[in-house]
Amino acid sequence: MAVIVQKYGGSSVGDADKIKNVARRIAHTREQGNDVIVVVSAMGKTTDNLISLANQITGQPDDREMDVLLSTGEIVSSTLMAMALRELGHPAISLSGAQAGIRTSSKYSRAQILSVDPARIENEFGKGNIVIVAGFQGITNDMDITTLGRGGSDTTAVALAVQLKAKICEIYTDVEGVYSADPRIIPLARKLKDIGYEEMLEMASYGAAVMHSRAVELGELYGMPIQVAASHNSNPGTIIHGGTPMEISNKVRGIAHDLNVAKITIVGVPDKPGVATSIFEPLAKAGVSVDTIVQNSSIDRIADLTFTVHKSDIGKAMKVVEPVVKEIGAASCESDSKLGKVSVIGSGMQSAPGYASTMFKCLYEAGVNIEMITTSEIRITCIIAEDKVKEAVKALHKAFELETA
Amino acid sequence: MAVIVQKYGGSSVGDADKIKNVARRIAHTREQGNDVIVVVSAMGKTTDNLISLANQITGQPDDREMDVLLSTGEIVSSTLMAMALRELGHPAISLSGAQAGIRTSSKYSRAQILSVDPARIENEFGKGNIVIVAGFQGITNDMDITTLGRGGSDTTAVALAVQLKAKICEIYTDVEGVYSADPRIIPLARKLKDIGYEEMLEMASYGAAVMHSRAVELGELYGMPIQVAASHNSNPGTIIHGGTPMEISNKVRGIAHDLNVAKITIVGVPDKPGVATSIFEPLAKAGVSVDTIVQNSSIDRIADLTFTVHKSDIGKAMKVVEPVVKEIGAASCESDSKLGKVSVIGSGMQSAPGYASTMFKCLYEAGVNIEMITTSEIRITCIIAEDKVKEAVKALHKAFELETA
């Protein structure tokens, strides 16, 4: 029998009726002769409600306790799903992350999966059970409960798929797959039949929030095909895998965007060793995640350094940076919170020239001013004004001929 | 350091403010130099809400899944309590039943504690932690979660107290202790300073629902003193222990009553071997708990058999009994749901005569007709009309001189 892993997110199991609907889909997969592992997230707003409870008790909840608290959300939905499957006549059993053999590091709230012991799940397969696993959680060697942080349930699903040698890991969510651009902005956006891991990683980290990068990276590492599809219909989704042909006719696969961008510019940074460390080490310590960093050339040994952070972090970042500016002898610093990002992504780009110039020309013709540029092998990203992002996505989607025929 | 176990019920941890209040009490016990284990129930209506969720999914929730589902309620309150204690500056850690080493039988929904492995709790004591244990739950040898059924958290508390050699097991609840009669009926009822295990067992099973019998039995077995007191004030409660002097001046300690009584009478039961089995075996299989059984003498080899059940079980019980009546050749059966029970309890009764006659005379003078009588060594119980129970309790409380001076 083939093993299939299916993951259902919080909105797909938001109430009793939704759970019953999902149970019918799982039953169907089982009836086709597969061994099925189902990974579930917490129901709808459960996690938010638990966080709010903790905040009523203390302003600084302990990480270990918070993890135990939050892990209950996924356990609740896993038991309800097992009950719903039994109601349909299918033997099913729920397992916590610990019972499913998911061993993690002890970094509470963002633990990493170290290993998966497949014994219990294999044992349950032997008894004919569909196995429902509470996502987002694991257990340390000291038997303490951990949670995996953002994207945790997706990561649980891929890890189980890898360890149990699944045919595929199916991620069911409230969107139908990965699109050539955000369908809310571009009605003509095309659902991609498939996409490469690397491309998906660029799409995901640049704002196409279908799936967390972490799970995609794990899939790439072990070559596990991942399908992203809707839980509310049976339309085919997008398959993320390693086998995307490099020489496809249109080398741009999608346009990603991100409205959550602020930048900080430090003017007149002396060009001496250790300056970058003085700036970015305190930011890291303060928990500010820095994204794009650009430094202009410094013929006179004085440069401007610009970097971007999440909008919500701009206050914290400025507090850290302002004293550093004085300390290193820079002239001043300034911030801008009204920015966005637009990216052109495609693995074919690395072997063919001209994509950058097409992008810049397109933005120029659309009247969009480019503030910063960064590139990877398979991506070109421009930081632009927030209120130009929508327009820019539209223009690029058309320019790279991504619209549905 | 002395070990003290404290258990707080669902209403004592019903919301964030109540949890913070309880945390202050725990902190106080800690500050007096004790190692403290706290057992918590689920917050307020949590368990009911989880049951209702399960019922929205299926009419017959699987026992194993139900246990996993319900166990989350106590885990939530245990983490919040640990957070509240840390907020007060006291190191604290929450443990699930499994983490606290509570091994149980695999009888889901009413598992029995088989053993307690104290290693983890002792380890946490070594680190200076107050240990918060999720009540009502344990784990089987196959690593499956179980719940302990009614009175489960009390039982968890006493079991931990026994294994960790606690000085005392304190049960905090919404009443102030064990009274000589229900204070809602008898304003002059006296709070007992102490009471023997056996007496408490008779009080508890005969309607004084302060604490579940199971936990008292466990306390008796290991001689663990148990204090019942209010969680909302610091008045002294009642201590349940084995050392109550037998020769105390007033040998009746309390009057218990129960309004949840229905009786079934089978008229004309042939007096032949196996008849009782034919009646009570199918009732047990149907899950009907039978309480008092009385059979009158049978000079003509034909007897009337009367037994009592919980009111809520009367429909189910009659459905089971009616076909049996025909099968065994009895004349007929009838039921009465408007009954109650009143009991006089005291361990001194066994060594002194006259209590029964005092009780019957008192009820006669109060105009209360006695339907059935049963006795144990330390208890006399009369089944009477439901609408006479209050009156009967009052009269007995006075007759046995239990009123506060």
Report, as an integer, the average pLDDT of A348-359: 77
Q: Do A62 and B86 touch (CB under 8 A)?
A: yes
On the question of pLDDT at A355 being above 90, the answer is: no
Q: How far is CA B233 from CA A64, B5, B25, B192, in A?
A: 31, 18, 10, 17
- Look at domain A255-399 and name its CATH class: alpha beta
Residue A292 has pLDDT above 90, yes or no: no
Stretch among A257-261, A337-341, A350-354, B245-249 having the lowest mean pLDDT: B245-249
- In this prediction, residue B299 carries a pLDDT of 63
A72 part of contact set with chain B, CB < 8 Å: yes
Q: Which residues of A touch B62 (CB under 8 A)?
A: 82-83, 86
In angstroms, the separation between the Cα of residue B284 and the nearest Cα of chain A is 26
Residue A325's identity, in one-letter code, is: V
Partner-chain contact B69 A75, CB within 8 Å: yes
φ, ψ (nearest 5 deg) of residue B94: -95, 145
Q: Do B80 and A54 touch (CB under 8 A)?
A: yes
pLDDT in tens, A73-115: 999 999 999 999 999 999 999 999 999 999 999 999 999 999 9
Average pLDDT, chain A: 90
Q: To 5 degrees, how large is the angle CA A247–CA A250–CA A254? A: 115
Out of B57, B86, B144, name the one closest to residue A80 (CB). B57
**Amino acid B377: pLDDT:** 79
**Can you tell me whether residue A165 is helix, strand or coil?**
coil
Please list the pLDDT of chain B residue by residue as tens digits (405 residues): 899 999 999 999 999 999 999 999 999 999 999 999 999 999 999 999 999 999 999 999 999 999 999 999 999 999 999 999 999 999 999 999 999 999 999 999 999 999 999 999 999 999 999 999 999 999 999 999 999 987 899 999 999 999 999 999 999 998 889 999 988 888 889 999 999 898 888 887 666 667 888 899 999 999 999 999 999 898 999 999 986 555 555 578 899 999 989 999 998 888 777 788 888 889 988 888 888 888 776 566 677 888 999 998 999 999 999 999 999 989 899 999 999 999 999 877 766 677 888 899 999 999 999 988 888 878 889 999 999 999 999 999 999 988 865
Q: B52: how many CB neighbours lie within 10 A of its CB?
A: 11
Reading the block at residue B393, the tokens are 């309790």
CATH class of A3-174: alpha beta
Confidence of residue A252 (pLDDT cuts 50, 70, 90): confident
Every domain of chain B and the residues it spans? 3-249
From the number of C-beta atoms within 10 Å of its C-beta (0-12, 13-18, 19+), residue B184 rates as exposed
**Rounded mean pLDDT of A179-200?**
89
* Contact of B269 with B328, CB cutoff 8 Å: yes
**Model confidence at A352: pLDDT above 70:** no
User: In chain B, what is the straight-line distance between the N-terminal and C-terminal CA atoms, in Å?
Assistant: 39
Mutate to test the interface with A, among B65, B67, B85, B124 (most CBs of A within 10 A): B65
What's the confidence (pLDDT) of residue A2? 95
Q: Please state the three-class secondary structure of chain B as a single string.
A: CCEEEEEECHHHHCCHHHHHHHHHHHHHHHHCCCEEEEEECCCCCHHHHHHHHHHHHCCCCCHHHHHHHHHHHHHHHHHHHHHHHHHCCCCEEEECCCCCCEEECCCCCCCCEEEECCHHHHHHHHCCCEEEEECCEEECCCCCEEECCCCHHHHHHHHHHHHCCCCEEEEEECCCCCECCCCCCCCCCCECCEEEHHHHHHHHHCCCCCCCHHHHHHHHHHCCCEEEEECCCCCCCEEEECCCCCCCCCCCCEEEEEEEEEEEEEEEEECCCCHHHHHHHHHHHCCCCEEEEEECCCCCCEEEEEEEECHHHHHHHHHHHHHHHHHHCCCEEEEEEEEEEEEEECHHHHHCCCHHHHHHHHHHHCCCCEEEEEEECCEEEEEEEHHHHHHHHHHHHHHCCCCCC
**pLDDT value at residue B211:** 84
pLDDT band for position A300 (cuts 50, 70, 90):
low
Q: Which chain A residues in 140-169 lie under 8 Å from chain B, judged by CB atoms?
A: 143-145
Looking at residue A287, what is its pLDDT? 83
**Any A CB within 8 A of B78 CB:** yes
Any A CB within 8 A of B83 CB: yes
Environment class of B29 (CB within 10 Å of its CB; exposed 0-12, middle 13-18, buried 19+):
middle
pLDDT, tens digit, 9 for 90 and up, residues A115-167: 999 999 999 999 999 999 999 999 999 999 999 987 899 999 999 999 999 99
pTM: 0.83
Contact check, Cβ <8 Å, A87/B143: no
- Chain A partners within 8 Å of B57 (Cβ): 16, 19-20, 80, 83-84, 87
Kind plus residue range of the DSSP H or E element containing A184: none
- Whether A3-174 shares its CATH topology with A255-399 is answered no
Distance to chain A for B109, nearest Cα, Å: 14
Q: Which one is predicted more confidently, B251 or A356?
A: A356
3-state secondary structure B327-369: HHCCCEEEEEEEEEEEEEECHHHHHCCCHHHHHHHHHHHCCCC
- What lies within 8 Å, CB to CB, of B390 at 6+ separation is B185
CA distance B20 to B189: 32
Residue B221 has what pLDDT? 94
Give me the interface pTM, i.e. the ipTM: 0.80
* CB-based contact A93 B20, cutoff 8 Å: no
Choices 3.30.2350.10, 1.10.10.10, 3.40.1160.10, 3.10.20.30: CATH for B3-249: 3.40.1160.10
d(CA A270, CA A274): 10
pLDDT tens for A16-29 read: 999 999 999 999 99
Q: Nearest Cα to A156, choosing from A171, A178, A175, A176?
A: A171
User: Residue B398 phi/psi, 5° resolution?
Assistant: -75, -45
**Could B80 and A53 be called an inter-chain contact, meaning their C-beta atoms sit closer than 8 Å?**
yes
Contact A349, A355 (CB under 8 A): yes
**Interface touch A57/B84, C-beta < 8 Å:** yes
- Read off the pLDDT of residues A274-289 as tens digits, 9 standing for 90 and up: 788 888 889 988 888 8
pLDDT at residue A275, as a whole number: 82
pLDDT at A298: 59
Cross-chain CB nearest to A16 (options B16, B57, B143)? B57
> Is residue A315 helix, strand or coil?
helix
